[in-house]
Amino acid sequence: MNTQTLCIVVPCYNEQEVLPITSKLFLEELTHLIRCGKVGEGSRILFVNDGSGDSTWDIISQLARQDEHFIGISQSRNRGHQNAVLAGLMEAREKFDVTISIDCDGQDDIAAMEAMIDAYHDGCDVVYGVRSKRETDTFFKRFTAEGFYKLMRLMGAEVVFNHADYRLISSRVLQEFSKFHEVNLFLRGLIPLVGFKSTCVYYERHERMAGSSHYPLKKMLGFAFDGITSLSVKPLQLIFFFGCFVAFLSFIGIIWAVAAYFMGKAVAGWASMICILCFFSGIQLICVGVLGEYIGKIYLETKARPRYIISARTWEEEDSHS
Ligand code: UDP
Ligand code: MG
């Protein structure tokens, strides 16, 4: 019999339509896992109400009264998906051995939890849920979402392709993660920074069971921008390279202006004006780029992230999951 306790963390924002449907599915999966002996009796489903304006919190309180496996916490106001997941994970960190975060709309395959728990028992501390197909998404959503991951990579933010926030994290990883104090949260980029053994579990993404998405294109673009700027200083470095490129173009411009002057094709004063303009615009961008390099370093310093994380010590007891 396994006594390792699991906490399923579910962020909910104005989800009164879908919660009554998916809460049953979460409970079914949890009782299945308990019955198979894969997780302990003390496992729970933790709903995080993210300052909903509808009856989401009433539904959560009612669920908690009906079945001891349901528990809930409520944020004082809406803080967004990432903060809601963080609140749930930090709440669960000391009380449970392992957590799985999942959206409450049933889009992520709840049955994939079993494979995640198996991977955990095999020694993985982080298991990423990865969407194998996006057939139920519209072409537009698929195109923009996949472009999102590619852009992130290009800009130096390492993320697992097609992985959203459906993932298993062990309590010891959460313990280390709690040392990351940054306010701009982008969990899918930060968890890989913590390290430890990880793997992926593939599943098909479904359609929302009820209600509507809270992530229209505008929010998604903002989210991508947030992810890039909070994980990477590459955009600042790009200014420097762009500056060098402009300086090179300016150099050609100067040669051209001087040549035009000597060929007598230039109006008086034009060549010297162009030379000065090209020279200074190149110099200025390079200088801004150098400033950018320093600002990037200051930015990373202000995050005060841990500089190293120890995953094992020979003199400590063998850390076994099962
Ligand atoms: N969510 C949240 N706070 C917010 C917006 C969303 O907790 O401010 C939750 C929401 O209830 C859902 C999850 O985050 O469980 C993902 O949101 P949604 O399904 O609307 O996004 P999509 O899957 O369309 O990208
Ligand atoms: Mg969704």
Pocket test for ligand 1, best of 81, 109, 142 (most atoms within 8 A of CB): 81
Which tens digits make up the pLDDT trace of 161-215?
888 899 999 999 999 999 998 888 889 888 998 989 999 999 988 888 888 888 7
Angle, vertex CA 214, rays to CA 55 and CA 99, nearest 5: 75
pLDDT at 158 (0 to 100): 78
Q: How many CB atoms lie within 10 A of CB 304?
A: 11
- Bridging pattern class, strands 98-101 and 6-12: parallel
Cβ of residue 215 lying under 6 Å from some atom of ligand 1? yes
Looking from the CA of residue 212, the nearest atom of ligand 1 is: 20
Fold of 6-217+307-321: Spore Coat Polysaccharide Biosynthesis Protein SpsA; Chain A (3.90.550)
What is the average pLDDT value for the chain, to the nearest integer? Answer: 87
Distances (CA, A) of 177 to 89, 124, 126, 174: 10, 16, 12, 5
Q: Which of 294, 292, 291, 278 minimizes the C-alpha distance to 245? A: 278
Label residue 49 by pLDDT band (50, 70, 90).
Answer: very high
User: Which of the ligands is closest to the CA of residue 165?
Assistant: 1
Which tens digits make up the pLDDT trace of 87-124?
999 999 989 999 999 999 988 999 999 999 999 999 99
Half-sphere exposure of 103 (CA within 13 A, CB side): 27
Looking at the predicted structure, is the pLDDT value of residue 53 above 80? yes
Strands, E, within 171-296: which ranges? 198-204
- Bridging pattern class, strands 6-12 and 44-49: parallel
Q: In whole angstroms, what is the distance from residue 120 CA to residue 303 CA?
A: 30
pLDDT at 41 (0 to 100): 92
Ligand 1 centroid to Cα of residue 305, in Å, is 27
pLDDT at 314 (0 to 100): 67
User: Which of the ligands is closest to the CA of residue 85?
Assistant: 1
Write down the pTM of the prediction: 0.81
Instruction: Over range 153-159, report the average pLDDT.
Output: 80
Half-sphere exposure of 140 (CA within 13 A, CB side): 3
Q: Is 247 exposed, middle or buried (0-12, 13-18, 19+ CB in 10 A)?
A: middle
Secondary structure, 3-state, 160-192? CCCEEEEEEEEHHHHHHHCCCCCCCCCHHHHHH
Looking from the CA of residue 84, the nearest atom of ligand 1 is: 7
Ligand 2 centroid to Cα of residue 216, in Å, is 11
Q: Is 120 exposed, middle or buried (0-12, 13-18, 19+ CB in 10 A)?
A: buried
Looking at the predicted structure, is the pLDDT value of residue 3 above 90? no
Q: In whole angstroms, what is the distance from residue 147 CA to residue 144 CA?
A: 5
